[in-house]
C-alpha cells in the first residue's frame, strides 16, 4: 500500500502522569522544567518514572501511562486495541481523540476523528436528544445541512425516537450510548474511535453496532479503532490488533494472532502460589493461596472429559480475623476468548459457612462437567454477602484446564463449535 493509504500514524507517543495530590511541590518542579528549557536541555522529569503497573507499589512520583507507542493504521482497517485494565488503552484513545496531549511524540491523521470514549461524552444533559445530535455534529465539523440529512437515520438506528425531544439527563446509560454511537457512526468521520462503551448496551444493540462498524469499514472504506475485552468481537470485527501491557506495545499484527498472543501471554503468568499475585482486588482479610482440579478418584489433574465428575479445590489463608457467617465463595469459567461461560456462588447452592480456620480449603463439586471440549480458565472470588462490591479477594485467570470432547448423549452434537454450557454443581464445605 502507498503512503497515501495511511490515515493515522502514531510516532513515539508517551504519556507521563504525576501521582498523588497535584499541587504539592509542583511549583519547584515547574521552575526546574523551565530552567532546563531555557538552557535548551531536556525535561529532567522525563528520565524518571516507572512503568504503569497499578498492582505493585513503586518508588517514583511519576508513572508512564504510555511509553514509545508506534503504529500505523491504513484506510478502511479496523484496529483492535487489547490489554488488561491499566495497560494504557483508554489513555491512548484519549490522546488520539485529542482529549489529552501526549508528553512526547506526534500523531499524524487525515480527516475527522469521532470518539466514543465514555457514556455521554460530549452530550449536554440539559439539551434534548435531537439538540445533542446537532451539537455533536457541529463538534465534528459537520454543517447543519449535513446533520439534517442524516437525522432520521441516526434516530432510527438509536431506537430513541420516542424520547428524542426529551433532555438526555433523563436517558438511561443504555439509551445515551445508543444515541452517542448512532451520531458518531452516521456523521461519517474518517476515523471512528470506540472504547468499551458498547458493553453498556444490550446484546441486540451490540450486535447492531458491530454490524454497523463492519459496514463503515468494508463498504465505506472508513477506519475504526476498537477497544474491547470481548476477544470474540475483536477477532470477528478487527483486521489488525495491538496488545498493550504496562503502557508499551508488546505485539502488533493480525487481529487473530494478537488475541492469541494476549491470551497465551496471560496464561503464562499464572502462578502456582496465588499469594504472590499482586493483581488481586478486595479488602484482603482472606486470600486464596492455590487451586487444584481433582477427578473422581481424587487425583490432581489438568484435564477432564466432557460430562465427567470434577472437583475444584481452592486453598486460602486468613490474613485478619473474619466472620464466616456471610462469606460467599464463587468461581467463573471462561473460554479462550475470555467470554464468561458459567459461574457458581456458594450461597446460591445453599451452603453456609460457620467458621473459618487459618488455613483451609473450599471444594466446588460438579457431578457432570457439561462443558464443550476446549481450554478454560478460572476466576475465583470470596466476598462478604451477595453484593460484588464487598469483595474480600478476587483473582482472574488463576488456573488453566482442558476439557476433551466427550460423547455425552450417544452423539457428538454437544461438542459443536459454538460455546454453550449447562453446568450443575454443588458447593461443599
Do residue 80 and residue 167 come from a single domain?
Answer: yes
Q: Classify the C-alpha dihedral 289-291-296-299 as positive or negative.
A: negative
In a domain, 57, yes or no: no
Under 8 Å between Cβ of 392 and 347 = no
Q: In terms of domains, do 231 and 127 share one?
A: yes
Cβ partners under 8 Å of residue 238, min gap 6: 78, 79, 80, 226, 255
In angstroms, the CA 29 to CA 34 distance is: 9
* CA distances, 282 to each of 30, 140, 199, 360 (Å): 37, 41, 23, 19
> Does residue 23 lie in a domain region?
no
Cα distance between residue 264 and residue 154, in whole Å: 40
Q: Which three cell numbers stand for residue 257?
A: 494472532
Let me know whether 243 and 282 are in one domain: no
- For the segment 323-347, what is each residue's pLDDT rounded down to a tens digit? 777 888 888 998 877 888 888 888 7
Final residue belonging to a domain, choices 266, 286, 302: 266
Residue after which a domain boundary falls, among 210, 235, 266: 266
The pLDDT confidence band at residue 272, using thresholds 50, 70 and 90, is low
Q: Which residues contact 86 (CB under 8 A, 6 or more apart)?
A: 52, 53, 54, 55
Same domain, 376 and 354: yes
DSSP secondary structure code for residue 86 in this structure: T
Whether residue 270 is predicted with pLDDT greater than 80 in this model: the reply is: no
Q: Using CA of residue 269, residue 271, residue 276, residue 278, what is the dihedral sign?
A: positive
Predicted structure pTM score: 0.63
* Residue reference for cell 477506519: 223
Domains identified in the chain, total number? 2
Is 79 a residue whose pLDDT tops 90? Answer: yes
Task: Looking at the structure, tell me whether residues 291 and 395 fall in a common domain.
Answer: yes
Name which residue leads in pLDDT, 217 or 141: 217
Q: Which of 222, 249, 266 is the last residue of a domain?
A: 266
pLDDT digits (tens, 9 = 90+) for 22-33: 444 566 777 777
Say if residue 337 is in the same domain as residue 204: no
User: What is the model's pLDDT at position 422?
Assistant: 33
Residue 216 inside a domain? The answer is yes
279-297 confidence digits (pLDDT tens): 888 888 889 988 888 888 8
- In this predicted model, what pLDDT tens digit does every residue of 310-322 receive, in sequence order? 888 888 888 888 8
Give the span between the Cα atoms of 136 and 181, in whole angstroms: 11
pLDDT confidence band for 251 (50 / 70 / 90) = very high
User: Residue 312 maps to which CATH number?
Assistant: 2.70.50.60
- Whether the predicted pLDDT of 167 surpasses 90: yes
State the virtual CA torsion across 31, 33, 36, 41 in degrees, nearest 10: -170
> Do 154 and 246 fall within a single domain?
yes
* CATH number of the CATH domain containing 199: 3.40.50.300
Task: Give pLDDT, residue 152.
Answer: 92
Q: Is residue 56 included in any domain, yes or no? A: no
233 and 345 inside one domain: no
Same domain as 177, residue 296: no
The pLDDT value given to residue 80:
93
The answer to the question of residue 334 being in a domain is: yes
Within this chain, do residues 259 and 282 fall inside the same structural domain, yes or no?
no
One domain for residues 301 and 216: no
Name the residue with cell 512503568: 51
Order the strands of the 327-334 sheet from edge to edge: 303-305, 391-404, 374-384, 327-334, 340-345
What is the domain range of residue 178? 3-11+68-266
Q: Is the pLDDT of residue 420 over 50?
A: no
Amino acid at each position: 500500500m502507498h503512503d497515501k493509504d495511511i490515515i493515522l500514524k502514531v510516532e513515539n507517543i508517551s504519556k507521563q502522569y504525576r501521582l498523588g495530590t497535584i499541587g504539592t511541590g509542583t511549583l519547584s518542579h515547574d521552575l526546574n522544567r523551565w530552567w532546563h528549557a531555557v538552557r535548551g536541555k531536556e525535561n529532567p522529569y522525563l528520565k524518571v518514572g516507572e512503568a504503569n503497573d497499578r498492582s505493585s507499589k513503586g518508588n517514583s512520583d511519576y508513572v508512564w501511562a504510555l511509553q514509545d507507542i508506534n503504529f500505523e493504521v491504513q484506510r478502511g482497517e479496523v484496529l483492535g486495541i487489547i490489554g488488561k485494565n491499566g495497560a494504557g488503552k483508554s489513555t491512548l484513545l484519549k490522546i488520539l481523540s485529542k482529549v489529552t496531549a501526549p508528553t512526547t511524540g506526534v500523531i499524524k491523521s487525515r480527516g475527522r476523528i469521532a470518539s466514543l470514549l465514555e457514556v455521554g461524552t460530549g452530550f449536554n444533559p440539559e439539551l434534548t436528544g435531537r439538540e445533542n445530535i446537532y451539537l455533536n455534529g457541529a463538534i465534528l465539523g459537520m454543517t447543519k445541512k449535513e446533520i439534517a440529512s442524516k437525522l432520521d437515520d441516526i434516530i432510527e438506528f438509536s431506537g430513541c425516537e420516542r424520547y428524542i425531544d426529551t433532555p438526555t439527563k433523563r436517558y438511561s446509560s443504555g439509551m445515551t450510548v445508543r444515541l452517542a454511537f448512532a451520531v458518531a457512526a452516521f456523521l461519517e468521520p474518517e476515523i471512528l474511535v470506540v472504547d468499551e462503551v458498547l458493553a453498556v448496551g444490550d446484546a441486540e444493540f451490540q450486535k447492531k453496532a458491530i454490524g454497523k462498524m463492519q459496514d463503515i469499514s468494508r463498504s465505506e472504506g472508513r477506519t475504526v479503532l476498537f477497544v474491547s475485552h470481548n476477544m470474540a468481537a475483536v477477532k470477528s470485527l478487527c483486521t489488525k490488533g495491538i496488545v498493550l501491557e504496562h503502557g508499551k506495545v508488546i505485539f502488533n499484527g493480525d487481529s487473530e494472532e494478537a488475541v492469541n498472543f494476549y491470551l497465551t501471554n496471560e496464561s503464562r503468568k499464572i502462578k502456582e502460589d496465588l499469594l504472590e499475585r499482586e493483581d488481586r482486588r478486595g479488602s484482603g482479610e482472606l486470600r486464596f493461596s492455590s487451586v487444584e482440579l481433582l477427578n473422581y478418584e481424587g487425583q490432581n489433574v489438568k484435564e477432564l472429559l466432557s460430562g465427567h465428575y470434577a472437583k475444584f479445590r481452592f486453598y486460602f489463608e486468613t490474613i485478619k480475623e473474619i466472620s464466616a457467617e456471610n462469606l460467599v465463595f464463587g468461581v467463573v469459567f471462561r473460554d479462550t476468548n475470555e467470554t464468561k461461560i458459567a459461574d457458581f456462588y456458594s450461597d446460591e447452592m445453599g451452603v453456609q459457612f460457620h467458621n473459618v480456620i487459618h488455613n483451609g480449603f473450599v471444594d466446588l463439586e460438579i457431578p457432570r462437567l457439561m462443558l464443550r471440549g476446549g481450554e478454560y480458565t478460572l476466576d475465583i472470588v470470596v466476598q462478604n454477602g451477595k453484593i460484588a462490591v464487598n469483595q474480600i479477594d478476587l483473582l482472574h485467570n488463576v488456573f488453566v484446564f482442558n476439557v476433551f470432547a466427550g460423547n455425552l448423549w450417544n452423539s457428538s452434537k454437544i461438542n459443536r463449535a459454538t460455546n454453550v454450557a449447562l453446568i450443575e454443581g454443588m458447593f461443599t464445605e
